Amino acid sequence: MVKNVKSLARKVLNGKVLRVLEDEYRLARASFANARFNWPAKGMRVIMITGTNGKTTTAHFLFSILREAGYSVGLSSTAEFRINEQVQANDTNMTVVNPVKLREQIANFKNHNVDFVILEATSQALDQHRLYGIPCEVAIFTNLTQDHLDYHKSMDAYARAKARLWQDFKPKISILNLNDEWY
110 within some domain: yes
182 assigned to some structural domain:
no
Per-residue pLDDT for the chain (183 aa), expressed as one digit of tens each?
556 666 666 666 656 665 668 888 999 999 999 999 999 999 999 999 999 899 999 999 999 999 999 999 999 999 999 999 999 999 998 889 999 999 999 999 999 999 999 999 999 999 999 999 999 999 999 988 876 666 667 888 888 888 989 999 999 999 999 887 776
**Based on the structure, what is the number of domains in the chain?**
1
Q: Which residues pair with 47 in a beta bridge?
A: 118, 138
Domain span including residue 161: 2-176
**Considering the domain boundaries, does residue 181 fall inside one?**
no
User: In 3D, which of 95, 110, 92 has the Cα closest to residue 34?
Assistant: 110
Is residue 137 domain-resident? yes
CA angle, residues 171, 166, 147, in degrees to nearest 5: 130
Please give the model's pTM, rounded to 2 decimal places. Answer: 0.86
For residues 156 and 154, what is the distance between their CA atoms, to the nearest angstrom? 5
Residue 168 lies in a domain: yes
Say if 165 falls within a structural domain.
yes
Residue 22 within a domain: yes
Query: Does 63 reside within a domain?
Result: yes
CATH at residue 170: 3.40.1190.10
